[in-house]
Amino acid sequence: MNPFQKNPLGRNHFEVPEVCLGTMTFGEQTSESDAHAQLDFVLANGINFIDTAEMYAVPPRAETCGASETIVGHWLKRQPRDKVLIATKVAGPSRNLNWIRNGPPALDRTNIRAAIDGSLQRLQTDYVDLYQLHWPERNQPMFGQWQFDPDKERDGTPIREQLEALGELVREGKVRHIGVSNEHPWGIMQFTRLADELGLPHIVSTQNSYSLLNRTFETGLAEVCHRERVGLLAYSPLAFGHLTGKYLNRPDAPGRLTQWPSFGQRYTKPNVIPAVQAYAELARKHGLTPTQLALGFTRSRWFVASTIIGASSLEQLKETLPATQTPMSQEILAEIDAIHLRYTNPAP
């Protein structure tokens, strides 16, 4: 019996498992053989939802751009295509990824179409189940930034044009469903309003960071996404390994943050370590590992449609996947909220 339930995304009958395998380590920290072993493992355990992106592996660089999709594609061609849900993303502008379509300068029709064609080729499929805008093109704080600055306004592709381009891909059958990522309430409302007014496809999901250290989704997005029927695909539920507790006693423990220190800027803020310590102590009090507490919490949230987990190795994944099923009592959740009120969103 499959222990993982399915949750609806969007306004139609699209359902996804409550856990999704993220692949951003594939092609950098994770070899192709280990990546395929991870994919086989989750599929054998009832998880058929795989998330990737054209810019992966991470941290992004020209030499590994597209590697994750390519590795997934080599595996996917051996699977019954209708039994696997593939999500990928088009990179937006302004992140200095100059090796992707010479910029890319915009999320316009030309770039979106070029991106999906490249992804389909690497994935060795003629459609993806969920196609996401990796981050907003407009001026917007993200990836550790936490303040909106109107002085940084810039020209960009209107959301209407982005949505029209995505709608073309849906009509052509290259994309089954569309979503966004790293979005904010205003953006979600624009996409849903325009879809209603113009008869274009509705976004079904937003992929945002969500964890014990970053519950900013709850402030404005939870209501918006509930009312507009947009599901949360929660990424970084272990906060780049912080919430495993491994960095508490050993700051130089192997991991992304020690290998690429500049990559986790949102986790350098003052209250991150005290918060992690408090959650680790709470986990021990209840006979749990910090990983079980963190993943059990994220899965317990009513607005989380799927929790995206990633691993650098199969052995790590074998620990992480079962931890997502950790039950959360009302007592534990109340104690989590008490810590949250002491250390509110230390890593937004």
> Which tens digit of pLDDT belongs to each residue from 295-319?
999 999 999 999 999 999 999 999 9
Does the pLDDT at position 265 exceed 70?
A: yes
Closest Cα to residue 99, out of 65, 67, 70, 69?
Answer: 65
Strands (E), the chain: 6-9, 14-17, 19-22, 49-51, 85-90, 128-133, 175-181, 203-209, 231-235, 304-309
How confident is the model over 213-259, as pLDDT tens digits?
Answer: 999 999 999 999 999 999 999 999 999 999 999 989 887 777 777 77
Q: Widest CA span of the chain, in angstroms?
A: 55
Contact at 8 Å (CB) between 16 and 305?
Answer: yes
Residue 193, domain member (yes or no)? yes
Q: Give pLDDT, residue 94.
A: 76
Query: What value does the mean pLDDT take over residues 337-348?
Result: 97
Residue 347, domain member (yes or no)? no
Residue 103, domain member (yes or no)? yes
Residue 1, domain member (yes or no)? no
Could you list the residue range(s) of the whole structural domain that residue 325 is in? 6-342
Q: How many domains does the chain have?
A: 1
How confident is the model over 108-146, as pLDDT tens digits?
Answer: 999 999 999 999 999 999 999 999 999 999 998 888 888
Q: Give pLDDT, residue 180.
A: 98
Range scoring the smallest mean pLDDT among 20-29, 152-161, 246-255, 277-286: 246-255
Contact at 8 Å (CB) between 49 and 85?
Answer: yes
Q: Give pLDDT, residue 1.
A: 67
Residue 254, domain member (yes or no)? yes
Residue 194, domain member (yes or no)? yes
Residue of 56, 235, 247, 343 with catalytic role = 56
Q: Give pLDDT, residue 252.
A: 75
CATH of the domain at 102: 3.20.20.100
Place of tokens 């500049």: 262
Q: What's the DSSP call for residue 81?
A: G
Give catalytic status of residue 343 as yes or no: no
Beta strands 6-9 and 203-209, pairing class: unpaired
Percent of the chain with pLDDT over 90: 86
Residue 348, domain member (yes or no)? no
Residue 251, domain member (yes or no)? yes
Percent of the chain with pLDDT over 70: 99
Query: What value does the mean pLDDT take over residues 14-22?
Result: 98
Mean pLDDT in the chain?
95
How confident is the model over 39-56, as pLDDT tens digits?
Answer: 999 999 999 999 999 999
